[in-house]
């Protein structure tokens, strides 16, 4: 079998997205003049009508506005900015949840996201069945899955509930399982968006320790969005400040936090 890494290049209008699993690339993530525009309709009826007619009026907002940034392999980078600055939109483009309207997004390496931790589960299946399904979606071999699953189950602390249908889980239990899986699969790029307050205080501390361990022991690139400058300093070496969808500062985490707090 060929070990050649094949890049997947997608063109959508004026946008280009390049993805591959080549973790040897010196750059993990690059945004080149990226803009992401959303259409804002007055209500759901107007949004539906716009599917059939171009005459329906709407407003637009640029969640990302000519955003350019580069994240080197193995870096731990905090994205700092106020609500609505465009931080989460940038992460969603990295994970493939949404696509840019214009510009180029490059992602080199396998991505795991700690974003909406309870999303994507099949509520009819048990926790164990959902884990197995996600392992298959990730392309893990049966041997890899059998080695990984006990670690995920143990970390989630769900006990006997792991065999129960996920419709019986609380939102916190689903988030626990989501965090346990996403943080256990050894990604090349780990995307974290305010996900470290999972569960009670003890479990949240356990999650922070897991992230610290990933950063310290493995050559994983970490992109971390948080409103807590204390957490940003704790987990990240560098920071990028985003305002109105545009990167306005990039530097050491201390300098980035100082810029963010003054702006």
pLDDT attached to residue 2: 45
pLDDT greater than 80 at residue 194: no
Let me know: does 187 contact 110? Beta carbons within 8 Å. Answer: yes
Q: State the greatest distance between any 2 C-alpha atoms of the chain, in Å, as a whole number.
A: 56
pLDDT attached to residue 126: 96
DSSP-H helix ranges across 160-200: 171-182
Q: 113 - beta bridge partners?
A: 191
Q: Please work out, in degrees rounded to the nearest 5, the angle formed at the alpha carbon of residue 127 by the alpha carbons of 218 and 160.
A: 105
Decide which of 5 and 79 is more confident: 79
Q: Give which of 108, 32, 69 is closest to 251, Cα–Cα.
A: 69
Q: Which CATH code, of 3.20.20.150, 3.40.50.300, 3.40.190.10, 3.20.20.30, is assigned to 8-110+225-262?
A: 3.40.50.300
pLDDT greater than 50 at residue 189: yes
239 pLDDT tier (thresholds 50, 70, 90): very high
Decide which of 130 and 175 is more confident: 130
pLDDT attached to residue 28: 95
Q: What does DSSP assign to residue 87?
A: H
pLDDT attached to residue 54: 86
Q: 192 - beta bridge partners?
A: 114, 224
- pLDDT tens track for 63-94: 999 999 999 999 999 999 998 899 989 999 99
Domain residue limits, the chain: 8-110+225-262, 121-186
Range in 26-40, 189-203, 247-261 with the lowest mean pLDDT: 189-203
pLDDT attached to residue 19: 94
Encode 238-251: b = buried (16+ Cβ within 10 Å), e = exposed: bbbbbbebbbebbe
Decide which of 52 and 6 is more confident: 52
Let me know: does 189 contact 94? Beta carbons within 8 Å. Answer: yes
Q: Please work out, in degrees rounded to the nearest 5, the angle formed at the alpha carbon of residue 105 by the alpha carbons of 237 and 89.
A: 70
Q: Please work out, in degrees rounded to the nearest 5, the angle formed at the alpha carbon of residue 167 by the alpha carbons of 139 and 162.
A: 60
- pLDDT tens track for 103-158: 999 999 989 887 766 667 899 999 999 999 989 888 888 898 999 999 999 999 99
Let me know: does 76 contact 237? Beta carbons within 8 Å. Answer: yes
pLDDT greater than 50 at residue 250: yes
Output phi, psi for 242, to 5 deg.
-115, 130
196 pLDDT tier (thresholds 50, 70, 90): low
Q: Please work out, in degrees rounded to the nearest 5, the angle formed at the alpha carbon of residue 232 by the alpha carbons of 175 and 153.
A: 25
Calculate helix-pair angle for 127-137, 171-182, nearest 10 degrees: 30
pLDDT attached to residue 212: 83
DSSP-H helix ranges across the chain: 44-49, 87-95, 127-137, 142-156, 171-182, 201-217, 229-235, 253-262
Range in 23-32, 56-65, 220-229 with the lowest mean pLDDT: 220-229
Q: Are strands 221-225 and 76-80 parallel, antiparallel or unpaired?
A: parallel
Let me know: does 65 contact 77? Beta carbons within 8 Å. Answer: no
Let me know: does 236 contact 254? Beta carbons within 8 Å. Answer: no
Decide which of 254 and 203 is more confident: 254
pLDDT attached to residue 63: 94
């Amino acid at each position: 079998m060929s070990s050649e890494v094949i890049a997947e290049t997608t063109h959508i209008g004026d946008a280009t997205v390049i993805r591959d699993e080549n973790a040897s690339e010196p750059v993990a993530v690059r945004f080149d003049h990226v803009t992401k525009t959303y259409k804002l309709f007055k209500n759901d009826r107007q949004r539906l009508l716009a599917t059939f007619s171009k005459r329906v009026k709407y407003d637009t907002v640029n969640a990302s506005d000519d955003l350019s940034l580069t994240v080197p392999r193995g870096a731990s980078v905090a994205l700092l900015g106020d609500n609505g600055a465009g931080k989460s939109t940038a992460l969603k483009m990295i994970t493939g949840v949404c696509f840019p309207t214009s510009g180029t997004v490059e992602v080199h390496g396998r991505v795991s996201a700690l974003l909406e931790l309870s999303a994507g589960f099949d509520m009819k299946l048990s926790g164990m069945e959902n884990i197995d399904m996600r392992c298959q979606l990730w392309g893990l071999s049966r041997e890899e899955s059998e080695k990984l699953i006990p670690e995920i189950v143990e970390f989630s602390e769900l006990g006997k509930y792991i065999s129960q249908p996920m419709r019986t889980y609380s939102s916190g239990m689903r988030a626990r399982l989501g965090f346990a899986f996403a943080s256990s699969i050894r990604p090349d790029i780990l995307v974290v968006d305010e996900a470290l307050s999972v569960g009670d205080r003890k479990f949240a501390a356990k999650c922070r320790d897991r992230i610290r361990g990933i950063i310290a022991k493995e050559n994983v690139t970490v992109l971390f969005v948080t409103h807590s400058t204390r957490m940003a300093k704790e987990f990240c070496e560098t920071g990028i400040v985003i305002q109105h969808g545009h990167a306005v500062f990039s530097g050491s985490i201390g300098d980035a936090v100082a810029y963010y707090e003054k702006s």
